[in-house]
């Protein structure tokens, strides 16, 4: 039997019910969710507009979960101070959206938050080489960013494996995060390849019937976590 290493689950606030965010956030916290993931979209870097720093501030006022700001925006360095001031514990920027990515990561660290770098499916992993020493997490997008509910792009599994081997070879401690179509099967396989942080959205805990089921969102999270552990043992 394999040892099931600890995984981190980051619930996507974009997929929560905006009419009852406080209830959803507290339910997730009580169920043992590790983090809230805020997809920040500007309608320019990606074809959608969502959330903002005030949502993070509101989350901090109603629960104790750490908050990650995933800045899917053009020139994210302009907004890093606002998100850290709002309460973001970690900030992830896209390599494709930064003019000076190293400077942006340094800005996040200096502001007191944990820096992360994200990479889109069509961007070669080699673009990250000079940045891996300066991040705490690397977010591998398993879908093209912008919308929930997309099928996973199969190359994500191999990209995670290659990145895992590279980090191990360089003796770096950055964690690999994956966002996009994280269902039970994909989570187990991606964990097998080296991912340790998973963004949970409409493919996992925010399915249409989650709120109406007994136990609601908390039960959906608990069942998903157990199902992933079971699937990993079977690999």
Which listed residue (24, 42, 179, 183) is catalytic?
179
**Are the beta carbons of 72 and 41 closer than 8 angstroms?**
yes
Cα(211)–Cα(214) distance, integer angstroms: 8
Q: Is 89 a catalytic residue?
A: no
Cα(26)–Cα(30) distance, integer angstroms: 6
**Are the beta carbons of 233 and 2 closer than 8 angstroms?**
yes
Which listed residue (39, 42, 136, 183) is catalytic?
39
Q: Is 23 a catalytic residue?
A: no
Q: State the SS3 of 37-61.
A: EEEEEECCCCCCEECCHHHHHHHHH
Q: Indicate left, alpha or beta for 215 from its phi (over 0: left) and psi (-120 to 50: alpha).
A: left
Among all residues, which ones are annotated catalytic? 39, 179
């Amino acid at each position: 039997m394999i040892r099931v290493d600890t995984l981190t689950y980051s619930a996507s606030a974009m997929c929560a019910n905006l009419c009852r965010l406080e209830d959803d956030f507290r339910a997730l916290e009580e169920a043992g969710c590790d983090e809230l993931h805020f997809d920040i979209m500007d309608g320019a870097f990606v074809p959608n507009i969502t959330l903002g720093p005030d949502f993070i501030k509101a989350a901090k006022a109603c629960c104790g979960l750490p908050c990650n700001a995933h800045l899917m925006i053009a020139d994210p360095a302009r907004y890093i101070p606002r998100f850290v001031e709002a309460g973001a514990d970690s900030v992830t920027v896209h390599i494709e959206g930064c003019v000076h990515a190293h400077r942006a990561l340094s800005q996040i660290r200096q502001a007191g938050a944990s820096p992360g770098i994200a990479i889109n499916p069509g961007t070669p992993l080699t673009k990250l080489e000079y940045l891996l020493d300066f991040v705490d997490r690397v977010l591998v997008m398993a879908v093209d960013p912008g919308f929930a509910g997309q099928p996973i792009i199969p190359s994500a599994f191999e990209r995670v494996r290659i990145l895992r081997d590279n980090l191990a070879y360089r003796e770096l401690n950055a964690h690999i995060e994956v966002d996009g179509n994280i269902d039970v099967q994909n989570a187990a396989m991606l964990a097998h390849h080296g991912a340790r942080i998973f963004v949970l959205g409409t493919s996992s805990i925010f399915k249409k019937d989650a709120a109406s089921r007994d136990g609601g969102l908390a039960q959906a999270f608990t069942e998903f976590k157990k199902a992933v552990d079971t699937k990993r043992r079977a690999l």
